[in-house]
Amino acid sequence: MRHDMAIRSGLIATATETFTADIGIRDGRIVTIAEEITDADDVIDATGRIVMPGGIEAHCHIAQESGMGIMTSDDYETGSISAAFGGNSCFVPFAAQKTGQSLADTIRTYDDRATAKSVLDWSYHLILTDPTPAVLEELPDVFARGITSFKVFMTYATRVSDAQFLDILSVAGRHGGLTMVHAENHDMLDWMGRRLVDGGNLAPRYHAPSRPALAEEEAINRAVSLARLAEAPLFIVHVSTPGGAEIVAKARANGGRVWAETCPQYLFLTREDLDKPGMEGAKFICSPPLRDTATQEELWRHVQAGTLSLVSSDHAPYRYDDTGKFNAGRDINFRQIANGMPGIEMRLPLLFSEGVVKGRISLNDFVALSSTNAARIYGMLPTKGTLAIGADADIAIWDPNETRIAGEMHDAMDYNPFAGMEITGWPKTVLGRGKRIVEDGDLLATPGAGQFVKRAPIDLTGKARQPVPELDPAHNFNAKL
**Tell me, what amino acid is at 374?**
A
Q: How far apart are CA 82 and CA 74, in angstroms?
A: 9
- Binding flag, residue 72, ligand URP (CB under 6 A): no
- Binding flag, residue 314, Zn ion (CB under 5 A): yes
Q: Which one, 158 or 333, has the nearer CB to Zn ion?
A: 158
Rounded to a whole number of angstroms, the minimum distance from the CB of residue 280 to Zn ion is 22
Among 135, 232, 316, 437, interactor with ligand URP by CB under 6 A:
316
Among 8, 125, 182, 428, interactor with Zn ion by CB under 5 A:
182
* Helix/strand/coil for 218: helix
Q: Which one, 68 or 443, has the nearer CB to ligand URP?
A: 68
Q: How far apart are CA 121 and CA 118, in angstroms?
A: 7
Say if residues 146 and 126 touch (Cβ distance below 8 Å).
no
- Binding flag, residue 287, ligand URP (CB under 6 A): yes
Rounded to a whole number of angstroms, the minimum distance from the CB of residue 151 to Zn ion is 8
Q: Is the peptide bond before 473 cis (omega within 30 degrees of 0)?
A: no
Rounded to a whole number of angstroms, the minimum distance from the CB of residue 238 to ligand URP is 6
Q: Which one, 261 or 314, has the nearer CB to ligand URP?
A: 314
* Nearest one of 122, 46, 59, 85 to 433, comparing CA atoms: 122
Rounded to a whole number of angstroms, the minimum distance from the CB of residue 156 to ligand URP is 7
Picked from Zn ion, ligand URP, none, the partner binding residue 286 (CB below 5 to 8 A depending on kind) is ligand URP
First to last CA, the chain: 59
- For 7, residues 6+ apart whose C-beta sits below 8 A from its C-beta are 22, 23, 25, 43, 44, 46, 51, 395, 397
Rounded to a whole number of angstroms, the minimum distance from the CB of residue 481 to ligand URP is 33
Rounded to a whole number of angstroms, the minimum distance from the CB of residue 373 to ligand URP is 19
Could you tell me whether strands 422-432 and 395-405 are parallel, antiparallel, or unpaired per DSSP bridges? antiparallel
Site string for ligand URP, 50-69 (x = CB under 6 A): -----------x--------
Q: Which one, 121 or 314, has the nearer CB to Zn ion?
A: 314
Task: State which of positions 154-193 bind ligand URP (CB under 6 A).
Answer: 182
Phi-psi region of 400 (alpha: psi -120 to 50; beta: other; left: phi over 0): alpha
Using Cβ positions, the residue closest to Zn ion within the complex turns out to be: 182
Rounded to a whole number of angstroms, the minimum distance from the CB of residue 94 to ligand URP is 8
Q: How far apart are CA 219 and CA 162, in angstroms?
A: 10
Picked from ligand URP, Zn ion, none, the partner binding residue 233 (CB below 5 to 8 A depending on kind) is none
Distance, C-alpha 100 to centroid of its chain: 26
Question: What is the H or E stretch that residue 333 is in?
Answer: none
- Binding flag, residue 340, ligand URP (CB under 6 A): yes
Site residues (vs Zn ion, CB under 5 A): 182, 314
Site residues (vs ligand URP, CB under 6 A): 61, 182, 286-287, 314, 316, 339-340
